[in-house]
Chain A
Amino acid sequence: MTSTGSVVESVEAGNATVSLGNVRRTYYLGEPVHALDGVSLDLPDGSFTAVMGPSGSGKSTLMNMVGCLDTPDEGTVHVEGRNVTALSGSERAQLRGTELGFIFQQFNLMPRLTAAENVTLPLVFNDAVDVDRRERAETLLSRVGLGDRLDHAPPELSGGQRQRVAIARALVNEPSLVLADEPTGNLDTGTGAEIMDIFAELHAAGRTILMVTHERHIAEHAERIVHLVDGQIQEIEQLDSGAHTGGSQ
């Protein structure tokens, strides 16, 4: 989990949680739109990667590709050593349920379920996991500072609290990879900083993280920043691995 600072492409697929090989995704609306135009990227185990770029540059498309929600028109996607393009829809769903954790800009909690039930929602679709859900939810919500909000419904929580519930949900299946698309996009600066502290803890605990943001100071919590422009990687910027501790106070 140490940042080597070397060229990312050289990391072997075996050590990478995620490996994209020359991925293309094109939308045809009259003219073809190349949302991703030949992207190759590895996410090494335990790495923390931020993605930045102008609106429409393909950040969310990249996210969906890594998150096994989308499949490429061309190229290869490997997640946890599995060839995603070869998987069926329900196999990809199972992969998401067991290996991935999603955090969204709009939190995306189920409005009729309590915080605790939202946290354990992924386990509902995963019959194999047999744990005390209540206990699991309590542990995770306490870890994000919401130990006293287990039975609150999402409408009764503030934006920052909702995002903490969403983070707890993303961690409930002990995922190897956490994906976050603009996790602080709907939060004020202070609350955003608190959320980034939690990300720092996750990173310290060895989780692989991929985070989309358009805010430089948020991106600086990561080890490196992938700059996307028009569906292509323009630059991979290596950050001083200590930078995030200094930048988050």
Chain B
Amino acid sequence: MKVTESFRISWRAITGHKLRSGLTTLGIIIGVGSVIVFMVLGGAFEQNIAQEIEEGNDEPGMWVHTQQADSGFGDSPFVRAKFFTDSDVAALESIDTVEFVAPSARFPVAQLTHDGHQRTGGFAVEATTPERLEGDVVEGDTFAAEDEIVLSKEATDLVEGGLSVGDEVEISFDGAGSGTFTVVGIVEPTSTGGNSLVPTAGYVSLSNYETTIETPDGNQERAYRDLIVAAESSEVLDQAQQDTLEYLRSDSDAAQLKEDEHVLKAQTVDDAIDQVGDIVDQLTVFIGGIAGISLVVGSIGIANIMIVSVTERTRDIGVMKAVGARKRDVIQLFLVESVILGAIGALLGVLVGLGFGYLGVSVIGWPMVLPTDWILIAVFIGVTVGVLSGLYPAWRGAKVDPIEALRHE
């Protein structure tokens, strides 16, 4: 029996029970649909983060920080304590492949007041040096004195009436006192503030940064939670990363100040993108498991309907056998039917998933990424589910005794 023939006959059987067939494929539609939605969202998320990380880092460099030692499960948390000293900064800067080292010294802002108008939290101020200020000063000048601040362009409308060069602002920091600053310039930042989710509202002199620590040599030095280490060029980035890690792990103050279970890391942009990918991959396994359960439920649904279908068509099977159908023809017929159900479920699931996924990413404003490989996997799974759930019913159909079937009233 030709496969095209079984498609024609099976298709009749399926369209003969449209509602029933539709409900049967629902489990597969939901299972495949949820996977595709997640893959669209996950892919968009990954791409978006990658874009952002890349855009914010046109200079080759790495993020030096401390992390809990690998527990073996997922990602270890970051350590917030400050171990990188000014000596470390100087030592790293003396490495050939390193262009400069920018200690990150961010203060979360509790409140910003200007002219009686207030703005509460949600942003940070970075203490840095004028040379490290990543961006173009579009108005005024960069800071020179301790009480001067350069605002980022987006921060100029933080308070009612807006902020401009010459204004005085009073900033109270989260748990770190407060100060009055004169706005001396507006900067259009080229960096979105590294890996922080809190936007940087302005930049002040590093002399505002007061956290110190006693170095192993017995001196008091400023200490930082993390550093940006810029490489001379992207060609030497790998070398710079190696050199940096080598220094950090052997001679650095941080190596001696940190706790035993802490690990010093130097993460490049590529590492960061890989890490986001890893997180998405882990979620993928999780979602895959859930989808797997709904596919099992879906295939039980198909198997159930196929058994009903075989029972209902016992007489038809008898007729087909009487006019020359062999066992394998009957098996083929019912397998094709359940494969059609599974494949239709998978295809509809893909469409539904793409629809909802597209809706989701356009609402959030992420780029739409077509999960081509997952669409193929979904269709493959649909066909497989169809085959597996059709096997037993088809075998039951093949086993029908035509004499009994034709006696069926």
Binding site for B on A (CB under 8 A): 60, 64, 67, 69-70, 89-90, 93-94, 96-98, 102, 104, 108-113, 121-122, 124-127, 169, 173
Of the candidate stretches B74-82, B260-268, B321-329, B350-358, the one touching chain A is: B321-329
Q: Do residues B329 and A125 form an inter-chain contact, with CB atoms below 8 A?
A: yes
* With contact pairs A90-B328, A112-B16, A127-B2 given, residues A122 and B323 touching in the complex (Cβ less than 8 Å): yes
Bound complex: CA of A69 vs CA of B319, how far in Å? 11
B5 within 8 A of A: yes
B320 lies within 8 A of A113 (CB): no
17 contacts between A and B (CB under 8 A): A64-B403, A70-B403, A90-B328, A93-B324, A93-B326, A93-B327, A96-B321, A97-B325, A102-B323, A108-B315, A124-B1, A124-B2, A124-B5, A125-B323, A125-B324, A125-B325, A126-B324
Q: In the complex, are the beta carbons of A108 and B319 less than 8 A apart?
A: yes
Q: Within 8 Å CB of A111, what residues of B?
A: 316
* Nearest neighbor of B398 in chain A, beta-carbon distance: A89
CB distance A112 to B13 under 8 Å?
A: yes
Bound together, the chains give a CA A158 to CA B326 distance in angstroms of 30
In the complex, the answer to whether A112 meets B325 with C-beta atoms within 8 Å is no
Q: Which residues of B contact A112 (CB under 8 A)?
A: 12-13, 16
Contacts of B318 in A (CB 8 A): 108
Assess the B12–A127 pair: CB atoms within 8 A.
no
User: Which of A60, A108, A125 makes the CB contact (< 8 A) with B326?
Assistant: A125
Q: Report A36 CB to chain B, min CB distance, Å.
A: 13
Nearest CB of A to B337, in Å: 12
- Is B1 within 8 A of A125, CB to CB? yes
- Are the CB atoms of B9 and A124 closer together than 8 Å? yes
Q: Please give, as numbers and ranges, the residues of chain B lying within 8 Å of A70 by CB-CB distance.
A: 403
In Å, the complex CA distance between A94 and B323 comes to 9
How far apart are A111's CB and chain B's nearest CB, in angstroms?
8
Q: In whole angstroms, how far apart are the Cα atoms of A102 and B323 in the complex?
A: 7
User: Do B12 and A94 touch across chains, with their CB atoms under 8 A apart?
Assistant: no
Are A93 and B321 closer than 8 Å at their CB atoms?
A: yes
B22 at the interface (CB under 8 A from A): no
Of listed B1, B324, B406, residue having the most chain A CB within 10 A: B324
Does the CB pair B326–A169 fall under 8 Å?
A: no
Q: Is B402 an interface residue (CB 8 A)?
A: yes
Separation in Å of the A210 CB from the closest CB of chain B? 14
Minimum CB distance partner of A110 in chain B: B316
Q: Is the CB of A67 within 8 A of B322?
A: yes
Beta-carbon contact of B322 and A102 below 8 Å: yes
List the 9 closest pairs (A to B, CB-CB), nearest first: A97-B324, A90-B326, A122-B323, A125-B324, A93-B326, A112-B12, A125-B325, A108-B319, A124-B5
> From residue 1 to 58 of chain B, which have CB atoms closer than 8 A to chain A?
1-2, 5, 9, 12-13, 16
CB distance from A56 to the nearest CB of B (A): 13
Which has the most chain A C-beta neighbours within 10 Å: B12, B315, B319, B320? Answer: B319
Within 8 A of A (CB), among B314-351: 315-316, 318-329
Contact B329 A104 (CB under 8 A): no
The complex places the Cα of A67 from the Cα of B403 at a distance, in Å, of 10
Kindly provide the distance from the CB of A3 to the nearest chain B CB, expressed in whole angstroms.
Answer: 29
Structural contact, A69 and B12, CB atoms closer than 8 A: no
Shortest distance in angstroms between B361's beta carbon and chain A's nearest beta carbon? 43
Q: How distant is the Cα of A90 from the Cα of B331 in the complex, in angstroms?
A: 13
Q: Is the CB of A169 within 8 A of B323?
A: yes
Given contacts A64-B403, A127-B1, contact A110 B319 (CB under 8 A): yes
Q: Contacts of B2 on A, CB cut-off 8 Å?
A: 124, 127
